[in-house]
């Protein structure tokens, strides 16, 4: 057997003698006993109830400040380990953090998501002057939108393993600091190549605001308390994306495209400083791994580990799960593909209207660049209305979970989608047939609000329903959907102008409305046939039936 000891230091021998030695193989009874380890200022934390619950003969003390921690001897691949776990009520366990601390962290992350969303689309308002100054074409300038979204689509397929190994904090801090630095290149770039490279890197670093936040909420909130934080995240993600042109048009008109990028970079700095200083590690397994490392350093006993340290798959396997498995689930799981198609179309529309709204209000109605950005307020208003209406879904789901006579299925997450789905095609129909110059501008503005009400419900139901259906496989499923969503969002600005000019604004809008009408049936079909589809899926049925 491998020797795990590196010059072990004596630590409270009276207690240490009861911990299985490295030279003996514990019996089955000993291996299943749970003990405790504690040290320093935390020595007086052990209560009488905990003494009865855990084997007091396996209490170990160390000469460092160590919160009371559960230990359990375990054999793995012929080696003996002492596996650590949080004790019930451990204040360092993210699930046990104070509600105000969780709310503060959630606010930081939602603000980060907001600023990343604003940077995604504010760029579009400066394309006209930028391509004129850099002597290139509009289509090349629009590649900046493509580059951002495409790297944002690819990065999540490979990022998950690094969160498992290093934790979320280092990813958040490193990525967001680099995200802020990219605005220097965008504001000072002398050629279009520099701009496109910086936009690509901006998307690469900015993807953390769309793919990690949901998982971070899962680190802190139990499922029954996760609905409101996730609704806030969806609200902010959409609001930032559709709201940027409101201010961007005025900045570009008054100061130019370079100041548009520079002001955004400066605005990100205070939040970046707060994230560096105040954002803690939220992944419980990483917190435990750091605790195990402290014990190993203090005692010289290399057997102290966490369950993730000995059972987590290798980096190659994790990369496979986060990339190959994600794409495979997208095309082999009907639920993943259906919702992926629906949310991708919604995101496609969000970026399409970056080009369509100027056609409607600048070209057809003669509004200037700044004023023509005001209709985006309608998109923000629609998102806000959708967010408010979603509390009815939250209340309905909560009432079902509290009813002991009701067995809650993932389809209980679809009530909001059943109600909200219809607003997307309705909004598109209204927008299509009220674009004529002779009609009042309020018509297309109302259509825009209804469109984003629908988009919000699509986003919210997609995340919640997919998570409930696939459990521990949901991260791969959502990554696959995110790849499709961001890819469609990336390509839409490249042909939006030609599509609406060549086909005609009314007919192009009508075509989109018909597609949206067809996709509206997705939540109704899944509500009816979702249980049958899950039963035929090895991943979904295993999760739902609790056999995984």
CB 245 within 8 A of CB 121: yes
Between vectors from CA 114 to CA 166 and to CA 163, what angle results, nearest 5°? 10
Tens of pLDDT, residue by residue, the chain (548 residues)? 444 544 444 343 333 333 444 444 344 344 446 777 887 777 776 666 565 566 666 677 888 888 888 888 888 777 888 888 888 888 899 999 999 999 999 999 999 999 999 999 999 989 999 999 999 998 899 999 999 999 998 888 888 777 777 889 999 999 999 999 999 999 999 999 999 999 999 999 999 888 888 888 888 998 778 889 989 999 999 999 998 988 998 999 899 999 999 999 999 999 999 999 999 999 888 889 999 999 998 888 888 898 887 876 777 777 777 788 888 888 999 999 999 999 999 999 988 888 888 888 887 787 887 787 788 899 999 999 999 999 998 898 888 888 888 888 888 889 989 988 899 999 999 998 898 877 888 989 999 999 999 999 998 888 888 888 887 677 788 888 889 998 998 888 888 888 888 888 888 889 999 999 999 999 999 999 988 888 888 887 555 554 44
What is the pLDDT, as a whole number, of residue 46? 65
Task: Spell out the residues 6+ positions from residue 330 whose beta carbon is closer than 8 angstroms to its own.
Answer: 336, 337, 340, 477, 480, 481, 483, 484
Strands 59-62 and 79-86: unpaired
Q: What is the C-alpha separation between 548 and 539, in angstroms, rounded?
A: 8
Please report which helix (H) or strand (E) contains residue 333, including its range.
none
> CA-based diameter of the chain, in Å?
90
What is the pLDDT, as a whole number, of residue 385? 95
Q: What is the C-alpha separation between 164 and 167, in angstroms, rounded?
A: 6
Q: What is the C-alpha separation between 291 and 66, in angstroms, rounded?
A: 8
Task: Spell out the residues 6+ positions from residue 32 whose beta carbon is closer than 8 angstroms to its own.
Answer: 72
What is the pLDDT, as a whole number, of residue 29? 43
Q: What is the C-alpha separation between 128 and 142, in angstroms, rounded?
A: 10
In this structure, what are the phi and psi dihedrals at residue 344, rounded to the nearest 5 degrees?
Answer: -70, -40
What is the pLDDT, as a whole number, of residue 511? 93
SS3 305: strand
CATH 1.20.1250.20 fits domain 95-282: yes
CATH 1.20.1250.20 fits domain 323-535: yes
What is the pLDDT, as a whole number, of residue 50? 60
Q: Which of 434, 427, 435 is nearest to 453 (CA)?
A: 427
Query: Where along the chain do the CATH 1.20.1250.20 domains lie?
Result: 95-282, 323-535
Task: Spell out the residues 6+ positions from residue 427 whose beta carbon is closer than 8 angstroms to its own.
Answer: 382, 446, 447, 448, 449, 450, 451, 452, 453, 454
């Amino acid at each position: 057997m491998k020797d795990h000891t590196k010059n072990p230091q004596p630590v409270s021998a009276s207690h240490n003698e009861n911990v299985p030695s490295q030279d003996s193989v514990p019996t089955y009874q000993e291996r299943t006993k749970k003990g405790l380890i504690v040290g320093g200022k935390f020595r007086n934390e052990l209560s009488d109830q905990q003494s009865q619950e855990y084997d007091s003969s396996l209490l170990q003390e160390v000469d460092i400040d160590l919160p009371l921690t559960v230990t359990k001897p375990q054999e793995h691949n012929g080696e003996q380990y002492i596996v650590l776990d949080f004790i019930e009520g451990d204040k360092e366990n993210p699930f046990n953090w104070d509600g105000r601390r969780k709310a503060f962290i959630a606010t930081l992350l939602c603000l980060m998501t907001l600023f990343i969303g604003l940077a995604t689309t504010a760029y579009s308002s400066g394309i006209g002057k930028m391509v004129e100054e850099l002597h290139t074409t509009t289509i090349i300038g629009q590649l900046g939108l493509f580059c951002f979204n495409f790297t944002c689509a690819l990065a999540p397929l490979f990022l998950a393993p690094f969160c498992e190994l290093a934790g979320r904090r280092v990813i958040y801090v490193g990525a967001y600091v680099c995200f802020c630095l990219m605005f220097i290149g965008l504001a000072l770039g002398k050629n279009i190549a520099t701009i496109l490279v910086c936009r690509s890197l901006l998307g690469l670093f900015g993807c953390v605001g769309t793919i990690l936040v949901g998982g971070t909420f899962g680190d802190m909130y139990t499922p029954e308390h996760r609905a409101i934080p996730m609704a806030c995240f969806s609200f902010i993600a959409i609001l930032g994306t559709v709201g940027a042109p409101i201010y961007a048009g005025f900045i570009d008109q008054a100061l130019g495209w370079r100041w548009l990028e520079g002001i955004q970079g400066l605005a990100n700095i205070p939040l970046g400083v707060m994230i560096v200083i105040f954002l803690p590690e939220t992944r419980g397994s990483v917190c435990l791994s750091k605790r195990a490392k402290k014990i190993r350093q203090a005692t010289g006993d290399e057997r102290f580990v966490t369950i993730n340290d000995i059972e987590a798959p290798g980096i190659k396997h994790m990369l496979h799960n986060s990339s190959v498995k994600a794409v495979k689930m997208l095309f082999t799981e009907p639920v993943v593909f259906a919702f992926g198609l629906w949310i991708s179309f919604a995101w496609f529309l969000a970026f399409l209207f970056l080009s369509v709204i100027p056609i409607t209000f600048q070209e057809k109605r003669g509004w200037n660049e700044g004023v023509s950005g005001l209709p985006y307020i309608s998109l923000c208003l629609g998102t806000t209305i959708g967010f408010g209406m979603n509390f009815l879904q939250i209340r309905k789901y909560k009432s079902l979970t509290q009813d002991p006579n009701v067995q809650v299925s993932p389809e209980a997450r679809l009530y909001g989608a059943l109600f909200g789905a219809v607003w997307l095609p309705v909004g598109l129909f209204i927008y299509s047939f009220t674009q004529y110059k002779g009609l009042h501008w309020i018509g297309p503005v109302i259509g825009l609000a209804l469109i984003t009400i629908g988009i919000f419900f699509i986003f919210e139901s997609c995340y919640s329903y997919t998570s409930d259906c696939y459990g521990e496989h949901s991260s791969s499923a959502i990554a696959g959907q995110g790849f499709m969503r961001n890819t469609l969002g990336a390509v839409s600005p490249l042909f939006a102008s030609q599509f609406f000019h060549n086909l005609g604004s009314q007919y192009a809008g009508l075509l989109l409305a018909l597609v949206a009408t067809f996709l509206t049936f997705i939540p109704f079909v899944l509500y009816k046939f979702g249980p049958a589809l899950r039963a035929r899926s090895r991943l979904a049925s295993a999760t739902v039936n609790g056999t995984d």
